A and B are shown apart, each in its own frame.
Chain A
Amino acid sequence: MNSKERLVGAVTFQPVDRVPVIPVALSQGSKLLNMDLPTYQKNGVHIANGQLKLLEQLEHDAVFGVPHVVEDLVPWGSPLTYYKNGSPTLSKTVIRKFEDIVDLKVPDPSDSLETKESLKAINILAKEVGHHTAVIGALIAPFSLPSMLMGTGPFMRLLLEEDKSGDKYLKMLLDKCRRYVVSWAKQMVEQGADIIVMADGIASETVISRRLFQKYVHPLVIETIKEIPVPVVYEAVGSTQGILDLIATTGAVVAIIDYKDNLEECKKIAQGKIAIMGNFNNIEMLYWNSIRTQLEVKKAINKAADGYGYVLSSQGPEIPYDVPFEVIETMVRATKEFGKYK
């Protein structure tokens, strides 16, 4: 059974040999290639090579064709500031006042150096290992994209004001973002992405209430996923347990859950409806060692590997650059050793 078969089987609740393991190691490839992070992140060939090297060493169950999701903002006109030890940040707000939303043009997602390079990386990975290992493309979900275009505070104001006194700009903005996301996902799929991870940074119960999720996020995610031709992994980035039942009806095949979510409870809610993936505390991983990692793997498997439908991973957005490599290695090795489905 190869990784792709294992992953597909596991997330569709079919018998597979073991729990699949996907470390979201987007930046670690640069270390393996002995190059600084910005150089690595800006070049599709490097990204692909880094992922291939990682796969060669770890033999885990999927590779990522993107270095981060912040790149989604570049085609909208927000350049990035790069750092030597983490993901880039945005250096410009695209929407300065609500009125700007009316004239906001939806750009071509591949209209930036960064996104072009990601497509290149996906293409290389698909050709090299796509026949046995799933190639993952990742992007920002349409509900969270606006908060990056205008800042979380202003978006929150827009959301809450229009939730109270009627729609004016919100629907228009979310629709523009949805069109962008669908187009970006399709381009990734064209280059060979088997799965799309949709990161919804402000959709979890950590940021908005279940009511707001139900009213705004849920229909938007359904509409978006409907148009993406490959399986979608949905990540609400934050507490997911209270909305997991809703996520299960969006059409997503996997939901990434937060470290604070109760893995056992989430498994019960999701069983047979949607697979779950997670939920190592990625910041805490900075302080783990091999033994601790093995214990965490065992704990997670005891809680969630009952009746398939579980992928061992960390919570989003990624494993930090400075997490010791032995921790990631142990995460994969221990899952292979102890990751038996019950």
Chain B
Amino acid sequence: MSTFDDIDSPKLAEDFGAYHPINHMKDSIMNLLVSLGFEIVNGPEIESEEFNFDMLNIKKSHPARQMHDTFYVNNKTNVLRTHTSPVQIRGMLEKKPPLAFISGGKVFRKDDDSTHLPMFHQVEGIYVDEGVSFSNLKDLIFRIIHSLFGDDVQLRFRPSYFPFTEPSAEVDILSKDGKWLEILGCGIVNPVVLENCKIDSTKFSGFAFGLGVERIAMLKYGVNDIREFYKSNLDFLNQFK
């Protein structure tokens, strides 16, 4: 028989806040890559055209460099980085191979509709050493995809085009309703990019890959509208504890 003194106060309901689901997803991917030996590098969101485009073999005539795709700032002297790749360029200029970098963060493109936002997040990585091949790249991609979507997920590699990789590929996974969903882009680092970073492309080769964090988060959490992530609605954020 309990007495008044025995009564415990009711347990306090857990009242923690939450990490933003996009940052949480970004950190999860980056932690996985760190566990594989990649080193995190950071860089600025306001970049020069040289680092955002030229060093990455994106020529002046490339559509991405037109005013309708890229945000220019400061009387066109700088751009808001359109990808996190320039961070890796900075990393390659600083250190000598073998090197394995990842960078993650905000990127900006001049888009705004139900599936695209002018600001979104990427995680990109690069690995440069002697004798790195597309076969090695496949090994890493399998490890990333299996870690994110389970060992049973079916995936395919499709040839694609990025100025900074050659050969280039996009990777799709087969969804439960039988549709192929694009997950990431990757490829063998274009020797031109290595040479731009003063790396001897006759001796070293590398691979690079990049993932859109929102896209993966939408798939993993079942969020259908990308804009939900950025309304800062507590009912939404409270679900990601």
Q: Please determine whether chains A and B interact with each other in the same assembly.
A: no
Chain B positions near chain A (C-beta within 8 angstroms): none
